[in-house]
Structure 1
Amino acid sequence: MSLSTGELAVTRHLLVHGPATRGDLSDLLRVSPASMSRLARSLVEDGIVAENAEPAPGVGRPRQILSVVPGARHVVGCKLTATRAYGVVCDMLGDVKATAEAALLAPRSDGSVPVDGTVRVLAQLVNRLGRKVPSVDGIGVTLGGVVTDRAVVREGTFLGWRDVDLTIPLRHRTGLPVVVSNDVTALAREQLWFGAGRTHATFGVITVGAGLGFGVVREGVVVEHLIDNGHLLAHAPVDGRGPECSLGHPGCVAAYLNRDDIERRGATGPARVEDAARALGHLAATFAGALQSTRIVLAGEDITEIAESPVMAATVADRLRPGPHETQRCVLDITVAPLTFSDWARGGAVTSIQAVLGAA
């Protein structure tokens, strides 16, 4: 059952920032002490929050500390690729308790992966992972493409899907609430509660792997639908004399960072990494400027080698270099998060945690 607005605010703060006293929460969330007491009592009675005496009290009466009970809820997160489903089961803190994976059915003659077969595979993963925890409270599925209403896959890029509602058949098979999300959007949600969002209300996520992905968080709210699914950023020009991407743009970001474009022209060696690092540096700086945020998260299977190149650091530094009469200085906080498919699945799990608790 979803939490009330007040209960959700308390639970979210404890999840994101850790244990706190009723008094501290009352001040931080701007609610009266009496209201805070009612909210805390309700959450403790529901088993979501525990209240215990401070471990090492000072002089006087020990303070009572509220903290989330990690095992109060468990959810399964699944990441779909073109050929496999990767699953994790997580507790309230997003900690992974077990992982599993399974092959999807081969595509049909039209190139689409069978939906009914995929639902069956997902349900089997949920059953396997559910044996590792007392119970499962929800499911979050992520994939590359465009998803609306956290349910309908309008464009399943790697699965060949169009207008597929994945929630209804999966809910029917499992009896559990289901949310479906673009994989990078889910990663942004995970970062909002357990990563960059702890210190920055507005930030951007860039993923580099099978394709380029973008996530946006503005003032603590995840942007569910980008106007172009990141197309404008992915095809921003870097070098007009550079190689063409698959759409014919000379020297755009995708030409240097999209795995398919790189493999198509057979680019290898240090020069490829340097070109990719330069493109990524320009992309990160441009994205930060557009969002007016100092925090950018770089993630994905192909990110480490590129982000560690000194060429990227030099490119960002050059973009940040002020003019001779400018007094304002900007420093970007760029973090790198290499991802396995289980990490991608964790994004789905965190999305499910938020949905189960009633977060938007």
Structure 2
Amino acid sequence: MTSTGTTTVGRLSTGALAVTRHLLVHGPATRGDLGDHLQLSAASMSRLARALVEEGIVTERTTPEPGVGRPRQVLSVVPGARHVIGCKLTEDKAYGVVCNMLGEIKTSATVALPDHPAGAEVPVAATVKVLTQLVTRLRRKVPSLDGIGVSLGGVVLDGSVVHEGTFLGWRDVDLAGHLSERTGVPVVVTNDVTALAREQLWFGAGRTHTTFGIITVGAGLGFGVVREGVVVDQLIDNGHLLAHSPVDPRGPRCQLGHPGCVAAYLNRTDIERRAATTLDDLTRRRTAGDERATTLLDEAARALGHLAATFAGALQTDRIVLAGEDIAAIAGSPAMNEVITDRLRPGPQETQRCTLDISVAPLTFEDWAQGAAVAGIQSVLGAP
């Protein structure tokens, strides 16, 4: 159950969720088209439509049928039927947004997390207090609040417990339980790239592909997997195997000592250590024609090209989303496309041809928070 102000709202039934999801992903549709697509009888479709209209989740309007025929009944989602707060946690800040059913950001705010010594655990109780204050501030902007989604780097269990908080220093912290108790609103906690995968499933790549992968490049490397329309909530290795796959045995070593692995070329700290400057400065130097800066960023772009091609092959998908704060600086190089083109080149006796649909999406922390909100929306509606 979820709480909306003082009103209790139940999760949707399987059929109602299927109808709502289709309308959210693909837009307005007639009862007939929905029934055909979801393999529902006319009677079942009518019952579900009536229930969703009564619930206030969808609206129905009658439009005349061109020519001779009965008027069409078109269903559309009511954007303001649900509101969810999404929070993205870094090691020192919490970025919050309020989103409606369509994942649209209505308002946002940012707060600092409690002070702590470098490398030390961020105080849990004080963090929950700060997040509660952020929620209180944001919920004033909407008539009601149905849920909260929180995303962070690390491993999360059962949508609640931060088993391993990479940047917060947390171990086995029941963040959802603590925050829900303080706010009186259901909370779902998720890995930040998994939240982004959920957002892409409904409002991005998932509109055209049921299986796709996400690679994020920023403070660290992140991976998201959507397989046959289902988000993989927990990777078996948190992306470790892909992040440390070898590229060049003669290349630089990553922080774990692997020579020439993907992480050695793409982790921001490794790039900046080798360049003896910041990534932003390195990008500016490349623009100014600096050969050393161009070489370092081209090496990173080639590693990213190998990673994207390998990930696509492992998932057997032609859709990969590249995202993150640092992605524009690295994926913007022609070197990445050259690697992918070479990896796709067929042998002389091969007849099968493959292409990759790769998109590049630089992210702000507000975008990360939006992903957390969409994870919250899906949880409120009862989506897996």
Same-fold status (TM-score > 0.5): yes
Which amino acid is 2:341 matched to? A
2:342 is the alignment partner of 1:318? yes
Whole-angstrom distance in 2 between the partners of 1:57 and 1:102:
52
Which residue is 1:185 aligned to?
194
SS state at 2:171 partner = strand
Whole-angstrom distance in 2 between the partners of 1:91 and 1:110:
36
Runs (4 or more) in structure 1 with deviation over 3 Å come to none
| Aligned with residue 98 of structure 1, among 107, 110, 115 | 107
Cα shift at 1:58 = 2.4
Whole-angstrom distance in 1 between the partners of 2:117 and 2:301:
38
2:375 is the alignment partner of 1:351? yes
Which amino acid is 1:321 matched to? R
Whole-angstrom distance in 1 between the partners of 2:72 and 2:118:
65
Which residue is 2:313 aligned to?
289
| Aligned with residue 331 of structure 1, among 334, 348, 355 | 355
Give structure 1 stretches of 5+ with no counterpart: none
| Aligned with residue 278 of structure 1, among 302, 308, 313 | 302
After superposition, residues 135-150 of structure 1 pair within 5 angstroms as: 135-150=144-159
Which amino acid is 1:200 matched to? H
Give structure 2 stretches of 5+ with no counterpart: 1-9, 277-281, 283-292
Whole-angstrom distance in 2 between the partners of 1:71 and 1:62:
27
Which residue is 2:365 aligned to?
341
Which residue is 1:167 aligned to?
176
Which residue is 1:26 aligned to?
35
Cα shift at 1:109 = 8.3
Cα shift at 1:110 = 7.2
Which amino acid is 2:294 matched to? P
Which residue is 2:13 aligned to?
4
Instruction: Report the CA distance shift for 1:109/1:283 in structure 2 as closer, same or farther (over 3 A).
Output: closer
Which residue is 2:57 aligned to?
48
After superposition, residues 72-221 of structure 1 pair within 5 angstroms as: 72-107=81-116, 111-221=120-230
Residue deviations 1:105-140 (CA, integer Å, cap 9, x gap): 012687000111111111111111111111110000
| Aligned with residue 254 of structure 1, among 263, 269, 272 | 263
Identity across the alignment (%)? 73
TM (norm. structure 1) is 0.98
Whole-angstrom distance in 2 between the partners of 1:339 and 1:117:
28
Contact 1:49–1:67, Cα closer than 8 Å, also in 2:
yes
Contact 1:108–1:114, Cα closer than 8 Å, also in 2:
no
Which residue is 2:324 aligned to?
300
Whole-angstrom distance in 1 between the partners of 2:62 and 2:104:
25
Cα shift at 1:57 = 5.1
Cα shift at 1:305 = 2.1
**Aligned-pair RMSD on alpha carbons?**
1.2
Which amino acid is 1:326 matched to? E
